[in-house]
Structure 1
Amino acid sequence: MDIIISIIYIILFIIMMIFVFSIGMLKQYMPKKEVLLVLGVAFLIGCIGGAFFLEPVYQDLPEVLSLVEKNMPNNEETLYLDVSSSVDINELIRTCEATEGFKSFKETSISIPMWKFDDTEKSYFEFVVGNIDSGYKSYNVTDSTIEIELKDNYSATSALKSFSDWYKLVYGGSISYAQVHSELVVDSSQLDTFEDILLQRGIVASDMEGPVQERINQTNSSMLSDIEFTLACGGVGVIVAILGIYIESVVPAYRRFKKSMNEKRKR
Structure 2
Amino acid sequence: MDTLTVIVMLALFILLLGFIFSAGLMTPVIGKKNIFFVIFIGFIAGVIGGIFLISPVYDELPFIVRNIYMSTSDVNETITADVSAGKDILRFMDELSAQDGVEAVYSEGIFLKTDRFSESRKRIIEDKISLIDPNITSWQVHTNGTIILQVKKGHNPVRTLDTLSEWLMYTGGINTRYSAVHLVVTVRPDKVDSIVSYLQARDVVVTGIKGPAEEKAAAFKAALPDKSNIILFCGFLGMLTGIAGVFIDSIIAFIGKIRGREA
TM-score by length of 2: 0.88
Over 3 Å counting, the alpha-carbon distance change for 1:89 and 1:227 in structure 2 is: farther
In 2, the alpha carbon distance for the partners of 1:86 and 1:23 equals: 67
1:22 corresponding residue in structure 2: 22
| 1:6-40 Cα shifts (integer Å, max 9, x gaps) | 11111111111111111222233445554333222
Q: Is the 8 A contact 1:70 1:212 kept in 2?
A: yes
In 1, the alpha carbon distance for the partners of 2:184 and 2:107 equals: 6
Q: Which moved more, 1:140-149 or 1:215-224?
A: 140-149
Report the Cα offset of residue 228 of structure 1: 2.2
Q: 1:225 and 2:200 equivalent? A: no
Q: Stretches of 4+ moved more than 6 A in 1?
A: none
Amino acid at match of 2:79: L
2:155 corresponding residue in structure 1: 154
Q: Which moved more, 1:179-188 or 1:34-43?
A: 34-43
- Secondary structure, counterpart of 2:177 in structure 1: coil
Report the Cα offset of residue 123 of structure 1: 1.8
Report the Cα offset of residue 204 of structure 1: 4.7
Report the Cα offset of residue 193 of structure 1: 2.0
| RMSD across aligned positions (CA) | 2.3
Over 3 Å counting, the alpha-carbon distance change for 1:44 and 1:154 in structure 2 is: same
| 1:127-173 Cα shifts (integer Å, max 9, x gaps) | 23333223322322134321111123212222111122223323446
Over 3 Å counting, the alpha-carbon distance change for 1:4 and 1:130 in structure 2 is: same
Report the Cα offset of residue 109 of structure 1: 1.0
2:90 corresponding residue in structure 1: 90
- The correspondence of residues 21-100 of structure 1 with structure 2, limited to 5 A, is 21-30=21-30, 34-72=34-72, 74-100=74-100
In 2, the alpha carbon distance for the partners of 1:204 and 1:179 equals: 10
Over 3 Å counting, the alpha-carbon distance change for 1:88 and 1:242 in structure 2 is: farther
Amino acid at match of 1:97: S
Q: Is the 8 A contact 1:69 1:75 kept in 2?
A: no
**What are the ranges of 5 or more consecutive residues in structure 1 without an aligned counterpart?**
none
Q: 1:181 and 2:187 equivalent? A: no
Q: 1:138 and 2:143 equivalent? A: no
**What are the ranges of 5 or more consecutive residues in structure 2 without an aligned counterpart?**
none
1:169 corresponding residue in structure 2: 170
Over 3 Å counting, the alpha-carbon distance change for 1:181 and 1:231 in structure 2 is: same
In 2, the alpha carbon distance for the partners of 1:249 and 1:256 equals: 11
Q: Is the 8 A contact 2:12 2:53 kept in 1?
A: yes
2:241 corresponding residue in structure 1: 240
Amino acid at match of 2:66: S
2:203 corresponding residue in structure 1: 202
Q: Is the 8 A contact 2:115 2:176 kept in 1?
A: no
Q: Is the 8 A contact 2:108 2:154 kept in 1?
A: no
Aligned residues: 262
In 2, the alpha carbon distance for the partners of 1:204 and 1:215 equals: 24
1:110 corresponding residue in structure 2: 110
Over 3 Å counting, the alpha-carbon distance change for 1:234 and 1:95 in structure 2 is: farther
Q: Is the 8 A contact 1:42 1:237 kept in 2?
A: yes
Over 3 Å counting, the alpha-carbon distance change for 1:131 and 1:55 in structure 2 is: same
In 2, the alpha carbon distance for the partners of 1:13 and 1:69 equals: 27
Amino acid at match of 1:210: G
Report the Cα offset of residue 114 of structure 1: 3.6
Over 3 Å counting, the alpha-carbon distance change for 1:134 and 1:260 in structure 2 is: closer
Q: Which moved more, 1:199-208 or 1:99-108?
A: 199-208
Over 3 Å counting, the alpha-carbon distance change for 1:240 and 1:136 in structure 2 is: same
